[in-house]
Structure 1
């Protein structure tokens, strides 16, 4: 039977989403999470491949605005819910979905597409490059201490209901967008993701808790959301706490929140995932080794419109460089582009001038947010220097003061 690709019809959502669950192993999402994703799905941006009455392929996109170096919020397609049925793999289904989706993104005027990859090896062939990385820690608090600034003592901490505190937490998050590239501006509804707490998904952990950090005048300057996992053995308590989110507007509030987490009674291990790789926590702990830091890829970036994307961000030092770009999957990007820019702004236009650097769109995506240097890609042979000094110039311009960060999945 001929397979049919079409835009998702709202009444097909259940079958479409169940296909996705099967593609990722078969376990059903908790009802609370399922309803969240039903509400956030944009049917007009969702594709399904059908073989008769069976959905055998899917891809969708959320309409995001992504923080880029300089603080601008750039339209970006948040690629999500990509899956192919086990019965229909190796038949071009994924390639056809990626082809249609990127064509649609381009037609909609979004210069970027971004995703988190279940398997990073899959998406490089479609032009996505790993642009942000995340840090995980598992701290043994019996052997690791925190050194917090004295200003932390002036921060008031207050336990609150996580849902009732959503508004205050979102204001803190929004204020950080200008500081951290890679963070998506949360459209209405997305704030609910941070407080999803289905009982069936707790795995023995206590319900989600939230603590606010406030200045003396009552202004909220930070928050932490976490879950305690109470455990006991023959020697007594052996509990842990898992930090889901911890954001703050200044070092005092940041340190006060971490001190609070470290000091929770009957807890001897602090776990945190999806932290920025330059998290200041690494400079508060007395022993980084016993904090067990681990790093993995997080956000993958695809430049759909090279000129518009490179012109949308700023550059830490002046750049004037001609890129020769290859892009087999989106050939409209191929050719030579002159990027000129500095900390005030940039332009990127087609040119016939000789190339200074040669690379593919995948390397541009990896370096776009400033966390992966062009120089390191050059060291791997993935960027070729054709004008002496051009690689250092461009690499310095692209690099940022802070590591880009994606705080949550989508």
Structure 2
């Protein structure tokens, strides 16, 4: 039977989202979480795949701004809510939806597409590379201390309700976005994601709290949202867990004060952090990194939708002038030779007929775009080919970022 792809109508949202729920295991979300995603869904950018009267596929795009090296915030289409009914797998439906979706992103003038993947092997064939990774840590606070950076003693800590401090925290988050690549500029409505705390999802933990780090003049310098899950070990000693939801700070003093506070909560044995940057300062503040159960995983996937506009939108660590030979079988308009010239103050990237100096595909370019994956490392895997001696080292240095890219929250 013919499967019809149509823009999502408001009255079909519940059926569309319920199909998506089943694609991810069928466990219903809390009503407040479902309602938030209803509010955030951009209907005009969402697709429903219909087989007769039944929705068998879903696909959506969020309108984002993504921070890139150099501090600019670049329009990006956030691919989301992708699902195919189990009865309709392996019929090319995902490819059809991705085709429509990336064409729409291009038509809107967004040079980048980004997503997070439920399974790592799905999106490489569509030109998405792993542009940022994330760090997870379980700090054994019974055995690990946290050093206090200079100025930490002047930081005032105050615990409050997350909703009460939301406006101040969002102002601080907005200031931080240009300072690290890979962060999402939160558009109206997205601030509610920080407050989402359904009781059914707490698994025995407390309601979420928020600790504020303020300077001597009362300025907000950092905050952490967290929940406590009390427990007792077989030996009778407390073995609770601090589940950290967010931890953002403007400077080492506030960050150190917050991390120390979280590791010193009474009756707690473990501080659990997820989705942290891979160069998180905690690596240098804890007294014993081996007792932090560190793990690294893939996080943000990125592909250039318009190679020229994407490469011209970011700055570069050093001056660069290189001709790239790009292959992109899914977005063929990107294929060909591109001359990238620029540096710390900006860049231009235009088609050229000059001899190529590096060859790579869209997936490798997406992985390197934010500075998270080195072009030299990708070359070691055979994903980048040096065609002029010296071009690889110079270009890899230019693409680097002083701070690792980081996606603070999913979508």
Whether TM-score is above 0.5 comes out as yes
Q: Which residue of 2 aligns with 1:381?
A: 382
Once structures 1 and 2 are overlaid, which stretch shifts more, 231-240 or 84-93?
Answer: 231-240
For the residue of structure 1 that corresponds to 2:29, the secondary structure is: coil
Q: Which residue of 1 aligns with 2:67?
A: 67
Q: Which residue of 2 aligns with 1:217?
A: 217
Q: Which residue of 2 aligns with 1:279?
A: 280
CA–CA distance in 2 between the matches of 1:351 and 1:103?
24
CA–CA distance in 1 between the matches of 2:290 and 2:54?
50
The Cα offsets for residues 10-43 of structure 1, whole Å up to 9 and x where unpaired, read as 1100000000000011111111110110000000
For the residue of structure 1 that corresponds to 2:364, the secondary structure is: helix
Q: Which residue of 2 aligns with 1:367?
A: 368
The aligned length equals 410
Question: What stretches of structure 1 move > 2 A for 4+ residues in a row?
Answer: none
1:244 Cα shift?
0.6
For the residue of structure 2 that corresponds to 1:177, the secondary structure is: helix
CA–CA distance in 2 between the matches of 1:174 and 1:292?
31
CA–CA distance in 1 between the matches of 2:351 and 2:237?
68
1:236 Cα shift?
3.1
CA–CA distance in 2 between the matches of 1:91 and 1:150?
59
CA–CA distance in 1 between the matches of 2:238 and 2:383?
51
CA–CA distance in 2 between the matches of 1:116 and 1:103?
19
Q: Which residue of 2 aligns with 1:133?
A: 133
For the residue of structure 2 that corresponds to 1:69, the secondary structure is: coil
For the residue of structure 1 that corresponds to 2:56, the secondary structure is: strand
For the residue of structure 2 that corresponds to 1:232, the secondary structure is: coil
Q: Which residue of 2 aligns with 1:299?
A: 300
1:311 lines up with 2:312 in the alignment: yes
CA–CA distance in 2 between the matches of 1:68 and 1:237?
43
CA–CA distance in 2 between the matches of 1:89 and 1:398?
38
1:62 Cα shift?
0.5
1:335 lines up with 2:310 in the alignment: no
* Unpaired stretches in structure 1, ≥5 consecutive residues: none
Q: Which residue of 2 aligns with 1:248?
A: 249
1:233 Cα shift?
3.3
Q: Which residue of 1 aligns with 2:108?
A: 108
With normalisation by structure 2, the TM-score equals 0.99
CA–CA distance in 2 between the matches of 1:172 and 1:158?
16
1:150 Cα shift?
4.0
1:273 Cα shift?
0.2
For the residue of structure 1 that corresponds to 2:186, the secondary structure is: coil
CA–CA distance in 1 between the matches of 2:100 and 2:77?
13
Q: Which residue of 2 aligns with 1:237?
A: 238
Q: Which residue of 2 aligns with 1:145?
A: 145
1:161 Cα shift?
1.1
CA–CA distance in 2 between the matches of 1:81 and 1:87?
18
CA–CA distance in 2 between the matches of 1:115 and 1:316?
26
CA RMSD of aligned residues (A): 0.7
Q: Which residue of 1 aligns with 2:354?
A: 353
* Unpaired stretches in structure 2, ≥5 consecutive residues: none
Q: Which residue of 2 aligns with 1:204?
A: 204
The Cα offsets for residues 276-328 of structure 1, whole Å up to 9 and x where unpaired, read as 00000010001111101100000000100000000000000011000000000
CA–CA distance in 2 between the matches of 1:119 and 1:246?
26
Q: Which residue of 2 aligns with 1:7?
A: 7
Q: Which residue of 1 aligns with 2:40?
A: 40
